[in-house]
Amino acid sequence: MIKSLDPRIAREQINEDNTIAPLTEMDNWETYEVFHQKKRGDQHEHVGIVHAPNNEMALLFGKEQYGRRGVSVNIWVVKTSNVFASDYDDADIFETVPNKQYREAGGYKVMEMINKYKKENKGL
């Protein structure tokens, strides 16, 4: 019997070897990726997974797993099997990207130009 200081667990008299519900290999439902949105109009952010047998229950679980703290207005759930991902073996396609700083937006000093314009045209 599992001995616990918590009376709610102790009185259940659970066997150590758990003959009631033995775990079997791969004894899980399929996973769903959960995305939540903090404010309407924001991007949904990936927050984790839930195991669920279907879409409805994935939403039900996702709301509590990831929406019970903080701020949320919306939850998406997507079956992990529906996520089409690139291969880690192909990670080399990204290799030279850090060298291409001309692609960074930081090169275009737009705010400087805007502020200069505003200063010159103050009083108009």
Partner 1 sequence: MNVTAIKELLYKMADDLLIIGHRNSEWTGLGPILEEDIAFSSMAQDKIGQAGALFEILHQLGEDEPDTNAFMRDANKMHCAQFVELPNGEYDFSVMRHFLYDHADQLRFEMLANSSFEPLAQVAKKIKGELKYHVFHANTWVVKLGNGTEESKARMQTALNESWNYALGMFEEGDFEKELQNDNIFEGEETLKNRWMANIIPFIEKANLKIPNTKTWDPILGGRKGYHTDYLQQLVEEMGEVFRLDPTAQW
Cα four-point dihedral sign 58, 61, 63, 46: negative
Hunting for tokens 């400087």 — which residue is that? Answer: 112
Say how many C-beta atoms besides its own lie within 10 A of residue 66's C-beta: 21
Binding mask 3-32 for partner 1 (x = CB under 8 A): ---xxxx--x--------------------
Residue closer to partner 1, measured from CB, 14 or 44? 14
Query: Tokens representing 93?
Result: 């396609």
Selected from 68, 100, 119, 122, the binder of partner 1 by CB under 8 A is 68
Q: Which stretch binds partner 1 (CB under 8 A): 45-53, 74-82, 93-101, 102-110?
A: 45-53
Distance between CA atoms of residues 54 and 57, nearest Å = 6
Counting contacts by CB under 8 A, is residue 114 touching partner 1? no
Place of tokens 């805007």: 114
Which positions lie near partner 1, rule CB under 8 A?
Answer: 6-9, 12, 50-52, 56-57, 60-61, 63-65, 68
